[in-house]
Amino acid sequence: MPLIEDHHYLKICAQLASSLSISIAAARRKVEVAAAKEGKKDLQSRKEIATRILNKTIEDDKNQSYCASTSFDQLLKALKEEENFMIED
Protein backbone atom coordinates (compact mmCIF):
# COMPACT_ATOMS: atom_id res chain seq x y z
CA MET A 1 0.00 0.00 0.00
CA PRO A 2 1.70 3.23 -1.08
CA LEU A 3 1.92 6.08 1.38
CA ILE A 4 -0.71 8.77 0.78
CA GLU A 5 0.49 12.22 1.80
CA ASP A 6 -2.82 14.08 1.69
CA HIS A 7 -3.27 16.11 4.89
CA HIS A 8 -7.08 15.98 4.88
CA TYR A 9 -7.12 12.20 4.37
CA LEU A 10 -4.61 11.68 7.19
CA LYS A 11 -6.63 13.95 9.46
CA ILE A 12 -9.81 11.93 8.87
CA CYS A 13 -7.90 8.70 9.51
CA ALA A 14 -6.46 10.15 12.73
CA GLN A 15 -9.95 11.13 13.92
CA LEU A 16 -11.21 7.66 13.04
CA ALA A 17 -8.31 6.08 14.93
CA SER A 18 -9.03 8.23 17.95
CA SER A 19 -12.73 7.43 17.99
CA LEU A 20 -12.09 3.68 17.64
CA SER A 21 -9.08 3.67 20.00
CA ILE A 22 -6.85 2.08 17.38
CA SER A 23 -3.63 3.16 15.65
CA ILE A 24 -3.64 5.45 12.63
CA ALA A 25 -2.17 2.64 10.54
CA ALA A 26 -5.06 0.36 11.54
CA ALA A 27 -7.57 3.08 10.70
CA ARG A 28 -5.97 3.60 7.28
CA ARG A 29 -6.01 -0.15 6.71
CA LYS A 30 -9.71 -0.23 7.63
CA VAL A 31 -10.40 2.47 5.01
CA GLU A 32 -8.21 0.71 2.43
CA VAL A 33 -10.09 -2.57 2.93
CA ALA A 34 -13.46 -0.83 2.60
CA ALA A 35 -12.24 0.93 -0.57
CA ALA A 36 -11.00 -2.36 -2.01
CA LYS A 37 -14.36 -4.01 -1.31
CA GLU A 38 -16.11 -1.21 -3.18
CA GLY A 39 -13.55 -1.33 -5.99
CA LYS A 40 -12.51 2.31 -5.58
CA LYS A 41 -8.89 3.32 -5.90
CA ASP A 42 -8.74 7.11 -6.14
CA LEU A 43 -7.97 9.42 -3.23
CA GLN A 44 -11.30 11.25 -3.29
CA SER A 45 -13.22 7.98 -2.91
CA ARG A 46 -11.02 6.99 0.01
CA LYS A 47 -11.69 10.33 1.69
CA GLU A 48 -15.43 9.78 1.27
CA ILE A 49 -15.21 6.25 2.64
CA ALA A 50 -13.11 7.40 5.61
CA THR A 51 -15.59 10.19 6.32
CA ARG A 52 -18.51 7.77 6.08
CA ILE A 53 -16.86 5.31 8.49
CA LEU A 54 -16.01 8.16 10.89
CA ASN A 55 -19.56 9.52 10.83
CA LYS A 56 -20.97 6.03 11.42
CA THR A 57 -18.61 5.53 14.36
CA ILE A 58 -19.56 8.87 15.89
CA GLU A 59 -23.26 8.14 15.38
CA ASP A 60 -22.89 4.70 17.00
CA ASP A 61 -21.14 6.30 19.99
CA LYS A 62 -23.98 8.81 20.35
CA ASN A 63 -26.63 6.09 20.14
CA GLN A 64 -24.91 4.14 22.87
CA SER A 65 -24.53 5.71 26.27
CA TYR A 66 -20.77 5.07 26.21
CA CYS A 67 -17.91 5.09 23.74
CA ALA A 68 -15.17 2.51 23.23
CA SER A 69 -12.63 4.36 25.37
CA THR A 70 -15.10 4.74 28.23
CA SER A 71 -15.96 1.06 28.22
CA PHE A 72 -12.24 0.21 28.15
CA ASP A 73 -11.67 2.47 31.16
CA GLN A 74 -14.49 0.67 33.00
CA LEU A 75 -12.86 -2.68 32.29
CA LEU A 76 -9.55 -1.48 33.77
CA LYS A 77 -11.06 -0.37 37.09
CA ALA A 78 -10.50 -2.67 40.04
CA LEU A 79 -13.49 -4.07 41.87
CA LYS A 80 -13.86 -3.14 45.53
CA GLU A 81 -13.04 -6.68 46.71
CA GLU A 82 -9.98 -6.89 44.42
CA GLU A 83 -8.33 -3.54 45.27
CA ASN A 84 -5.70 -4.98 47.63
CA PHE A 85 -5.01 -8.19 45.70
CA MET A 86 -1.33 -8.76 44.96
CA ILE A 87 -0.02 -11.17 42.35
CA GLU A 88 3.54 -11.21 43.74
CA ASP A 89 4.92 -10.79 47.25
Encode pLDDT of 10-69 as tens digits. 999 999 999 888 899 999 999 999 999 999 988 899 999 999 999 998 888 777 765 666
Task: Please count the structural domains in the chain.
Answer: 1
* Closest to 22 (Cα-Cα) out of 69, 59, 63: 69
The answer to pTM > 0.75 is no
Q: Is residue 3 part of a domain?
A: no
Count, residues in the chain: 89
The answer as to whether 25 is a domain residue is: yes
Question: Is 2 part of any domain?
Answer: no
Q: Report the pLDDT value the prediction gives residue 4, as an integer from 0 to 100.
A: 61
* Residue span of the structural domain in which 47 resides: 14-62
Q: How far apart are CA 23 and CA 75, in angstroms?
A: 20
Q: What is the number of alpha carbons within 13 Å of residue 6 lying toward its C-beta?
A: 14
